[in-house]
């Protein structure tokens, strides 16, 4: 029997998201999530996608990642999909920060894990949880290949002109301060799927990808290679997000510290957790914001306008970076679902060859689709992202053994 299953793990500080896929046909066998790990009541949601069983949910204390993964393994085993199965080929881990060294998915060895650990200072919120997830999975199946798929890898093709901040080079290099970019797995997948939608090879198209979820980032992809992206040293830079400010004058930080009397940690929390849409209007869910806009709510309307203004600036900037744009692709929770965001982001850009067809834009679908009118020079597309499938594919391509 050949091993064709891949378990994808996305380990956060207090959560583990997982999917089990069968790479013989890229189908999903089970999906789930453990939340609030380490808190009084943790929650495990597990949905088997074979055999017709429905979602199972239970609340109980789950002390740490090891307990979480054991609980996940037990759920999978109950569906006949246990992690001890010879059909399991590998485990693919989402790792947020791969620095400059990891430009592609990598089989995890002790050296690789040490390097991911070395990157903790530039990704203190993310890499420690990823490392814990890897160690726990290794303990559970020490014999199995484990692969790290990095959020930053797709962006390592950015030229120095885009990747460097204009600050003292020696200081920047000493502290590894540069623009790394994130959401790379999504940008890679969506830019390729957009080329497919246009019936072209990725090498032949220039695409602006707008990944608009709770976190949000834009990228400029020339011929399949990323040449610019909006997130930087951390996922704070760039677009307005659910709770993150995106771009601000760095002097805002000094001002809040010196004049506002805030500590660096307080400013960090302010910009990462209490800003963006939630800071502007109290809500970070675009559905709620649109409902409030439709009711004439001023704070929600201003939040929406600021969000769109920033998005439009990035579309214009990336148009200039690419010179020629074949498609703009909207993806993730907001990009895939919020027709008013897509319409407003492109409104008034007809001179750039950009337009959205109202009827096509209003269609709700899980499929990749074009929403621009036929006459438009640049295709505008909605392309659902699938980071788990991309991680599974990259993992399987590296260590799968389709004998």
Residues of the shown chain interacting with ligand AMP in the complex, contacts defined by CB under 6 A:
213-214, 242, 284-287, 332-334, 337-338
Toward ligand AMP, which CB reaches closer, 87 or 285? Answer: 285
In what side-by-side order are the strands of the sheet with 206-212?
A: 225-229, 216-222, 206-212, 327-331, 379-382, 369-370
Q: How far apart are CA 351 and CA 210, in angstroms?
A: 20
Rounded to a whole number of angstroms, the minimum distance from the CB of residue 131 to ligand AMP is 23
In whole angstroms, how close is the CB of 186 to ligand AMP at the nearest point?
Answer: 9
Residue with tokens 């199946």: 141
Q: What angle do CA 272, 98, 392 make, to 5 degrees?
A: 100
CB neighbourhood size of 67 (10 A): 17
Q: For residues 103 and 243, which CB has a smaller minimum distance to ligand AMP in the complex? A: 243
CB of 65 to ligand AMP, least distance (A): 22
Q: List the one residue out of 372, 278, 303, 385 whose CA is nearest residue 337.
A: 385
Q: Please answer whether residues 237 and 228 qualify as being in contact, where contact means their C-beta atoms are separated by less than 8 angstroms.
A: no
Question: Which letter, b or e, does each residue of 330-341 get, where b requires 16 or more Cβ atoms within 10 Å of its Cβ?
Answer: bbbbbbbbbbbb
Q: How far is the CB of 18 from ligand AMP (least distance, A)?
A: 16
Considering the complex, state which of residue 71 and residue 338 has its C-beta at the smaller distance from ligand AMP: 338
Q: How many CB atoms lie under 10 A from the CB of residue 284?
A: 18
Q: Which is nearer to ligand AMP, 183 or 222 (CB)?
A: 183
Rounded to a whole number of angstroms, the minimum distance from the CB of residue 339 to ligand AMP is: 8
When CB distances to ligand AMP are compared, the closest residue is 333
366 is catalytic: no
Check 22, 79, 151, 283 and give the catalytic one. Answer: 151
Of 157 and 337, CB closest to ligand AMP: 337
Catalytic residues: 151
């Amino acid at each position: 029997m050949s091993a064709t299953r891949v378990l994808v793990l996305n380990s956060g500080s207090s959560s583990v998201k997982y999917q089990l896929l069968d790479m013989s046909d890229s189908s999903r066998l089970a999906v789930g999530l453990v939340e609030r790990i380490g808190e009084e009541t943790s929650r495990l949601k597990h949905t088997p996608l074979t055999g017709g069983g429905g979602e199972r949910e239970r609340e109980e204390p789950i002390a740490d990642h090891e307990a979480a993964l054991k609980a996940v393994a037990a759920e999978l085993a109950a569906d006949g999909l246990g992690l001890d199965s010879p059909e399991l080929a590998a485990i693919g881990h989402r790792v947020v920060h791969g620095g400059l060294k990891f430009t592609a998915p990598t089989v995890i060895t002790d050296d690789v894990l040490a390097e991911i650990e070395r990157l903790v200072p530039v990704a203190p919120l993310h890499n420690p949880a990823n490392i814990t997830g890897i160690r726990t999975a290794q303990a559970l199946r020490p014999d199995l290949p484990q692969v790290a798929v990095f959020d930053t890898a797709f962006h390592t093709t950015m030229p120095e002109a885009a990747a460097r901040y204009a600050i003292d080079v020696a200081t920047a290099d000493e502290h590894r301060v540069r623009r790394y970019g994130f959401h790379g797995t999504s940008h890679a997948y969506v830019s390729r799927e957009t080329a497919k939608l246009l019936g072209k090879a990725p090498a032949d198209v220039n695409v602006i990808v707008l990944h608009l979820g709770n976190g949000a980032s834009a990228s400029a992809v020339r011929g399949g290679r990323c040449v610019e992206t909006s997130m930087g040293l951390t996922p704070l830079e760039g677009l307005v997000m659910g709770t993150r400010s995106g771009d601000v004058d760095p002097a805002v930080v000094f001002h809040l510290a010196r004049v506002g009397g805030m500590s660096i940690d307080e400013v960090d929390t302010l910009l990462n957790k209490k800003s963006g849409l939630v800071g502007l209007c109290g809500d970070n869910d675009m559905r709620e914001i649109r409902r409030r806009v439709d009711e004439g709510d001023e704070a929600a309307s201003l939040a929406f306008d600021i969000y769109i203004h920033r998005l439009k600036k990035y579309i214009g900037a990336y148009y200039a970076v690419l010179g020629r744009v074949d498609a703009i692709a909207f993806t993730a929770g907001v990009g895939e679902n919020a027709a008013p965001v897509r319409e407003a982001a492109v409104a008034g850009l007809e001179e750039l060859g950009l337009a959205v067809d109202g009827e096509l834009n209003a269609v709700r679908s899980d499929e990749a689709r074009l929403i621009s009118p036929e006459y438009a020079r640049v295709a505008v597309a909605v392309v659902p992202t699938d980071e788990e499938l991309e991680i599974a594919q990259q993992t399987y391509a590296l260590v799968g053994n389709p004998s």
